Structure 1
């Protein structure tokens, strides 16, 4: 049995302890006396002691039932104890307690022993009432608690849409532990009798309090403020929850307080029916799915189809003699729900006024945005919409060079002047990290010194990166706004949509940071701090500004956009994405141009099934996103620990840590690893609150060079072909495993089994290998782990595409369209004519985007000068795909004459 310190999550600890209790009580039931029975009894006592503080936060089995099990043990009723424990464990595993009462005694009949939720049909599961738990925060005696629960039970009605059970805790700290530990909780009732501190001393539970943050001084609170303060803290850690405050304070006193997620205040009354109805209404507001519901209703209506789309209502399939298998595979509903936006009956994505509009408003609430827009053709299109809506030809945009290719093409479409920002390189793993804030400030200050700050429009960064590097979003926006107070931010959160629903992750999302900044800029404390720094930095040079954490002016405009691939990290059909907006100038400046850009890039025939899935996916994350994200992180942490502690796996594999992927100067907390075999788990809250960059724990990058296989070979020929394990990304010597909200502990266990099997196979292979075979293996490993080509920085745009030599922005649009004329282009072979040209000192300029997979970012863009470092990198690549490069012809470049012709009008204009 693992020690408690081995667990990252109390959820995993709880599940394993109940499983151990079932096994131990079964064994004790079979061997109640004699040799070994005393050891079993001591183990049962230990398990009860470990579970007791944990079960206080859950409605099932509940402390009353838990105490009943303990009495069975103390009275020697070991057969009954084993029976009751099996019942509890089965119900916890199968989810049966969500649908019905679970009898624990042998005399009670229970005909549904095997109703594992996973074994039920989707129709049967859809018919059952959703279950949740309500946390009551009050210091009650046992008798008072039983009285309150009985009153709540009497309020239940057959027509109630949901079923809930109460959990009672006495203190503010217990309430915070409860909502961060018990994912079943959907509402919190805060009553006047609560106290401040928890008596629970279990370290794994107390650790949850770290997620509230170190800046909360709750010791100074007066007792009458405990309730309002708890409501405020709930808004910080679980903003999706509903809170209800019971108080005796006057309306005037309450009105001036920050009550966070409090939906209603009850004044010293025990009106349980009104409270019951409010709790159900609050959950219903998150449960409703306007568009999905409308689509279901539409599918039931009898209609005559006289418009485009023969597949609508499934008529073209049902009348076919040759494609009946398609109808059998998909079922009838998907075709009954197919229609056209122009046929009426449902809403239009391009001009929403009904259920789509309402669904988007609910999504904005869920993701903390001011406005949210659905997209049915992926985040690539979302990125182009935002860029086109905000960027005018000639605007300067600072862009993360290794961002998704849709951003580069967006710059072409918008006619932006692009300043490419270099991320820090991780040469030993053939990947880039993220762009240091110092580099961003340096480029902004350089543009300011050149008198071009008025043309700077946007900063575009990827958060988090594919490899899991996460920016300190709030700090980046603060310091950039201190230099350019109206700068627009576009955060590409394609792989980060889930982050909103984890308290640790939420603080580094664009929408959360925008909200925090808007609130902070209005405070008197911020005004005072800004004025003090302004006087201190008056006349400061660039070095001083780079070394100082800058404070934005109080009149700075917070203008933030995020694009998210909902389908990549949450529940949605392929290509379902969202654009979230928190822009103070959206209504006055952007709304019309955004609408035009949205119309430009959005299909007039959007897939209604994708829209419905976005609506349902939003419902899911508002009601159980916290649970799913929590389990996602737990799965990744378990994977880390299993690989780091397995003696055989350590020979060939290494999980890259924060210390491996983030240079020390960007980790102010000093945290190097989330798990260390010697020190155990590191609480990640500290580094997520402080560091410039952090590592997303849900992404596990595994260095596989020690196996002698490169990343692509390991992915394709080993993991996928041999074991059926699918992954997205590789580098030359790494593979990336991404946990998601669907990842299970069984999936993690299977992966570990596979890695162990691979490691054993390598051991056997090397054990039987000849001396020369071993030397060959060692050479392959050395080539993959030591002799790696350095990653090239962005060189520069050629002068033909620049306005001057002072700042680095370039006209990528001009270069892109110049290449449309084949007469302007030529091809040079990498190891022949291209190398010769560079050795002669010729300027060679790329006419295309050159994107090797992996790593999957452009190492050349149209108009960029080819450097010797870039050529060396391309020659050292041993990947199968290089988009934009033709192996039969070579690298497509501009002719010298084309560059001169393109540059001459610009030079003439400059002279005039």
Structure 2
């Protein structure tokens, strides 16, 4: 393929979801174009086309490169001059070196010679191919954004002075990027993922002169744009620091000012780490920048474990595997030692001394590591767990909920919550999510459903017993709540309500500005501030007057405001190992509870002791520590690339005519009913309209769709979701996925997903579509009819999803509210004489249709969908039985095909009812 057609086939700028993708592709295209010019010359028709293409690519890259230290504005201008002078040979060498250094990351380790006369012996070195040991020896690289409107001479002065104060003993190396304005600073920190620190100087201006739409779109994330326009020039610096903290709180900001300390003290400087007054002490600034990055780089427990592994010790405690002795002395398990290497065994111990610490009573490096995690994730306290989020959920529930407390739970939550309710002795109100019958999955619980139950409990005089609202955010399928709205409206009804947000699949969200506004910890911190403002108190009083004497219908239609004295009591459980870097079962509990110290702390530690092993895996703890370091330093970059990968899949499927015949990527319009999408947006990408404004969607809508979850409808292939996952994706192509429904499969991008992985997935889907085309071309009339019948059964004949029926009166406290004592039902089932088994046949359906009341004695959990469709004490409805009979999945936990469905006997229920 020649370069002209290659460039012509590149998507236009408007087709790109992010400027990062645009930059990478344009440098690659520029390299190909210049090399072709060098090979074929610049004369004639082809040469003129190549020159025009090169000029277009330089024009596209010019406004982008201002925000990056490599190759840097000066080098980029030099390359452009080489093109103007038609110095094609040298330009070809220079552009090739820049493009390869950007692709490989080589510029992060060494200086890249640009000129043709300079020798670059490592031109082909790719950072990803280096051994971990080699990469670990190098000094980590980052970039510092300096915000100051300076001329070329002043810019050179700044750069030279920062280079001059470098020292060989510095733990890191950085390069400066200089931008002139507040808006450019915001574009820079949202676009350039290498930035780790921002220096705000007195000479900055307000507005950016950059007009490239794909860069200007980053400014939509600046929620205070209207207020910024009214700033005085003297306020530009403090406001820049505040907005940096709002958009990317993990970054270090430094303010250089010529104003008095008294003036600065009255400003909100966000998380500004240091203010310098009227000075050009570059060494002091340099040392502070390094110190700030090192603060996030530190890994207390991982470092302690590394040091412990180097100590010569005599092992006279448990664990023969410690120091690898039981392996090195063995004649039969040397392959295990060879596979894992020595370090994992050198770092294995049951000791809590020698520089290490106890997870159950941390006082040293584990305590410090948890404090660093708390800072990173925005909590007040963070606790590590080494046996997964299932255990984290039980710890929180047991710590907060007392026997007899009422807990509102989304019915399709993870099974650990249901078992947690049993352990805590909660009276459970199960709330129904809106169903997506067509795709055999549930959505999320509407805010009005939660409010309705709270108002019903309030009317019944039971509000004092309501303890907690428990919701999954985001759901396995990627549905994300408007967390702030849910908590504000619930607190308006009960001001000390506790919230547990299961964020098992959402740990990464803290490190994307769009995502952060819908995280439990992010909203908790916002509420702590907003509830105490005079403006909120005034708005609350005005609303109370309007709602005086209002009935439930009016309260449901009103966006309720919480009282100013409402308590912010929020817990989040996260599977670090699912979406960030950690060994399997590494999880965290984040706490942001104003009453934790006085009311919950002792109970929490008892629950933590109950569920946490006295022999926790130190490798998991160390990986949690390192995973925290990673996201504080490069979480923004990785989450950005994760979203870009998912958006690329969406665009590829939506734009490919062959894939559209058999597949469909489900959009927000497919998965979220219209009444919950205030923005009116149906899809993140439309082939005709391009990309939607994701920031606007996530700011306004009641529910949004996490773009990193790509649900692909596969019913059009004639295969059900489980078969497509196992027989096609896994067995044939080696593609692994977690979740399916009857007619969908879920692809999840993560921080490790590469563009190559995305390309492979698209290639596989295209190959499958081609094979189906060939199969149908050669099929007989009967074979085609058989295929159409299978498709129709998967697409049109989908069994409706059942709602939660109700708890039997034997497990309820009156009929006016729906809560049930799930613990009583669970333990009643321990008595064999109280239970019976019934076959799932027509006779059973006839009994239900005749009005007989049958009650489940166990949890019934089919995989998929993976949550209980029956819980102990729940009345079995005809809808639930019909759904169970229609299931064609291989796993149904709690159901024994050889015996049938386990139910309580009439005598057992009668005995309880009499009591």
TM-score by length of 1: 0.99
Picking from 791, 794, 804, the partner of 1:794 is 804
1:573 alignment counterpart: 583
Query: Does 1:633 pair with 2:643?
Result: yes
CA distance, structure 2, for counterparts of residue 902 and residue 883 of structure 1: 27
CA distance, structure 2, for counterparts of residue 513 and residue 671 of structure 1: 24
2:199 alignment counterpart: 189
Picking from 350, 358, 362, the partner of 2:372 is 362
1:24 alignment counterpart: 33
CA distance, structure 1, for counterparts of residue 543 and residue 846 of structure 2: 54
CA distance, structure 1, for counterparts of residue 877 and residue 419 of structure 2: 22
Please show how residues 689-838 of structure 1 align to structure 2 within 5 Å.
689-838=699-848
CA distance, structure 1, for counterparts of residue 565 and residue 703 of structure 2: 28
Which string of whole-angstrom CA distances, capped at 9 and with x for unpartnered residues, describes residues 529-585 of structure 1?
Answer: 001111111111000000000000000000000000000000000000000000000
1:133 alignment counterpart: 143
Residues 361 and 671 (structure 1), Cα distance of their counterparts in 2 relative to 1, 3 Å cut: same
CA RMSD of aligned residues (A): 0.8
Preserved contact between residue 561 and residue 579 of structure 1 (Cα < 8 Å)? yes
Query: Does 1:562 pair with 2:578?
Result: no
Query: Does 1:460 pair with 2:482?
Result: no
- Could you list the runs of 5+ residues in structure 2 that have no partner in the other structure? 1-9
Alpha-carbon distance, 1:839 to partner: 2.7
Picking from 251, 267, 285, the partner of 1:257 is 267
CA distance, structure 2, for counterparts of residue 768 and residue 110 of structure 1: 56
2:319 alignment counterpart: 309
Picking from 16, 21, 38, the partner of 1:12 is 21
Alpha-carbon distance, 1:214 to partner: 5.6
Per the alignment, in what secondary structure is the counterpart of residue 200 of structure 1? coil
Which string of whole-angstrom CA distances, capped at 9 and with x for unpartnered residues, describes residues 453-472 of structure 1?
Answer: 00000000000000000000
CA distance, structure 2, for counterparts of residue 576 and residue 663 of structure 1: 35
1:328 alignment counterpart: 338
Please show how residues 563-602 of structure 1 align to structure 2 within 5 Å.
563-602=573-612
1:162 alignment counterpart: 172
Alpha-carbon distance, 1:422 to partner: 0.2
1:150 alignment counterpart: 160
2:519 alignment counterpart: 509
2:402 alignment counterpart: 392
CA distance, structure 2, for counterparts of residue 386 and residue 820 of structure 1: 26
CA distance, structure 1, for counterparts of residue 175 and residue 776 of structure 2: 59
Preserved contact between residue 321 and residue 327 of structure 2 (Cα < 8 Å)? yes
Name segments (4+ residues, structure 1) moved above 6 Å.
none
Which string of whole-angstrom CA distances, capped at 9 and with x for unpartnered residues, describes residues 90-137 of structure 1?
Answer: 100111100111111121122222321111111110000000000000
Preserved contact between residue 499 and residue 505 of structure 1 (Cα < 8 Å)? yes
Residues 215 and 885 (structure 1), Cα distance of their counterparts in 2 relative to 1, 3 Å cut: farther
Which string of whole-angstrom CA distances, capped at 9 and with x for unpartnered residues, describes residues 397-443 of structure 1?
Answer: 00000000000000000000000000000000000000000000000
Which string of whole-angstrom CA distances, capped at 9 and with x for unpartnered residues, describes residues 180-209 of structure 1?
Answer: 000000000000111110000000000011
1:910 alignment counterpart: none
Per the alignment, in what secondary structure is the counterpart of residue 801 of structure 2? coil
CA distance, structure 2, for counterparts of residue 112 and residue 319 of structure 1: 43
- Could you list the runs of 5+ residues in structure 1 that have no partner in the other structure? 906-912
Preserved contact between residue 720 and residue 726 of structure 1 (Cα < 8 Å)? yes
Per the alignment, in what secondary structure is the counterpart of residue 562 of structure 1? strand
Query: Does 1:180 pair with 2:194?
Result: no
Which string of whole-angstrom CA distances, capped at 9 and with x for unpartnered residues, describes residues 304-358 of structure 1?
Answer: 0000100000000000000000000000000000011456541000000000000
Query: Does 1:484 pair with 2:525?
Result: no
Which string of whole-angstrom CA distances, capped at 9 and with x for unpartnered residues, describes residues 673-717 of structure 1?
Answer: 000011011111111001000000000000000000000000000
Query: Does 1:553 pair with 2:547?
Result: no
Preserved contact between residue 389 and residue 587 of structure 2 (Cα < 8 Å)? yes
Picking from 261, 283, 291, the partner of 1:273 is 283
2:880 alignment counterpart: 870
CA distance, structure 1, for counterparts of residue 285 and residue 28 of structure 2: 36
CA distance, structure 2, for counterparts of residue 35 and residue 152 of structure 1: 48
Preserved contact between residue 429 and residue 732 of structure 1 (Cα < 8 Å)? yes
Alpha-carbon distance, 1:211 to partner: 1.3
Preserved contact between residue 307 and residue 343 of structure 1 (Cα < 8 Å)? no
2:6 alignment counterpart: none
Preserved contact between residue 635 and residue 748 of structure 1 (Cα < 8 Å)? yes
Preserved contact between residue 341 and residue 605 of structure 1 (Cα < 8 Å)? no
Preserved contact between residue 221 and residue 695 of structure 2 (Cα < 8 Å)? yes
1:114 alignment counterpart: 124
Query: Does 1:540 pair with 2:554?
Result: no
CA distance, structure 2, for counterparts of residue 2 and residue 787 of structure 1: 39
CA distance, structure 1, for counterparts of residue 483 and residue 458 of structure 2: 22
CA distance, structure 2, for counterparts of residue 417 and residue 35 of structure 1: 80
Q: Which shifted more, 448-457 or 881-890?
A: 881-890
Which string of whole-angstrom CA distances, capped at 9 and with x for unpartnered residues, describes residues 851-901 of structure 1?
Answer: 111111110000000000001111111111111111111100000001111
2:3 alignment counterpart: none
Alpha-carbon distance, 1:215 to partner: 6.2
Picking from 247, 250, 260, the partner of 1:240 is 250
1:909 alignment counterpart: none
Q: Which shifted more, 610-619 or 101-110?
A: 101-110
1:3 alignment counterpart: 12
CA distance, structure 2, for counterparts of residue 120 and residue 466 of structure 1: 35
2:7 alignment counterpart: none
2:230 alignment counterpart: 220
Alpha-carbon distance, 1:833 to partner: 4.0
Per the alignment, in what secondary structure is the counterpart of residue 407 of structure 2? strand
Per the alignment, in what secondary structure is the counterpart of residue 17 of structure 2? coil
Alpha-carbon distance, 1:832 to partner: 4.0
Alpha-carbon distance, 1:841 to partner: 1.3
TM-score by length of 2: 0.98
Report the count of equivalent residues: 905
Preserved contact between residue 30 and residue 54 of structure 2 (Cα < 8 Å)? yes
Picking from 36, 41, 55, the partner of 2:51 is 41
CA distance, structure 1, for counterparts of residue 17 and residue 352 of structure 2: 52
CA distance, structure 1, for counterparts of residue 478 and residue 774 of structure 2: 34
Preserved contact between residue 308 and residue 354 of structure 2 (Cα < 8 Å)? no
CA distance, structure 2, for counterparts of residue 847 and residue 230 of structure 1: 60
Q: Which shifted more, 872-881 or 319-328?
A: 872-881
Picking from 659, 665, 672, the partner of 1:662 is 672
CA distance, structure 1, for counterparts of residue 736 and residue 430 of structure 2: 33
CA distance, structure 2, for counterparts of residue 658 and residue 473 of structure 1: 18
Alpha-carbon distance, 1:216 to partner: 4.8
Preserved contact between residue 652 and residue 706 of structure 1 (Cα < 8 Å)? yes
Alpha-carbon distance, 1:825 to partner: 0.5
Preserved contact between residue 308 and residue 355 of structure 2 (Cα < 8 Å)? yes
CA distance, structure 2, for counterparts of residue 221 and residue 533 of structure 1: 31
Per the alignment, in what secondary structure is the counterpart of residue 217 of structure 1? helix
